[in-house]
């Protein structure tokens, strides 16, 4: 998998996160190692989520992982705290803000598991 293919997939996964209740500014840089090596950032600003394929110099935390492990984290299949504990994810920077990544991923899982409501048409 190329970096471009990986970035397109991971961006799609991250963009489903609900960040509407996050009032603070968060900025994370992700360093991908091995296959699909590259860098991208995730930023939450004014309740909106941005995922772009660039360095982010004023970041709160840097996450370093393989493309495979990072995709599992983005999909909610690998808990980021567990990944850190098992040395599958390296974290540098503000640990409190880094832990908010788990909340973003959990919000995505809740949205995916929420049953769809059938809309009733009024006449």
User: Could you read off the pLDDT tens digit of each residue along the chain, which spans 123 residues?
Assistant: 899 999 999 999 888 888 888 889 999 999 999 999 999 999 999 889 999 999 888 999 999 999 999 999 988 899 999 999 999 999 999 999 999 888 888 776 665 655 554 444 444
pTM reported for the whole predicted model: 0.83
Q: Write out the CATH class of domain 3-106.
A: alpha beta
pLDDT, position 55: 87
pLDDT, position 22: 87
pLDDT, position 29: 96
pLDDT, position 112: 61
pLDDT, position 118: 47
Secondary structure element (H or E) that encloses residue 116, with its range: none
CB-based contact 94:123 (threshold 8 Å): no
pLDDT, position 111: 58
DSSP 69-108: HHHHHHTTSS-HHHHHHTTSSEEEE-HHHHTHHHHHHHHH
Report the half-sphere exposure of 94 (CA within 13 A, side-chain side). 12
């Amino acid at each position: 998998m190329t970096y471009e293919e990986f970035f397109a997939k991971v961006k799609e996964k991250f963009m489903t996160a609900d960040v509407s209740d996050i009032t603070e500014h968060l900025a994370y840089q992700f360093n991908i190692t091995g296959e699909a090596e590259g860098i991208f950032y995730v930023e939450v600003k004014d309740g909106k989520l941005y995922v772009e394929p660039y360095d982010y110099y004023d970041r709160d935390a840097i996450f370093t992982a393989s493309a495979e492990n990072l995709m599992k984290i983005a999909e909610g299949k690998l808990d980021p705290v567990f990944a850190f504990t098992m040395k599958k994810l390296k974290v540098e920077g503000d640990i409190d803000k880094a832990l908010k990544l788990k909340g973003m991923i959990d919000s995505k899982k809740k949205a995916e598991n929420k049953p769809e409501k059938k809309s009733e048409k009024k006449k």
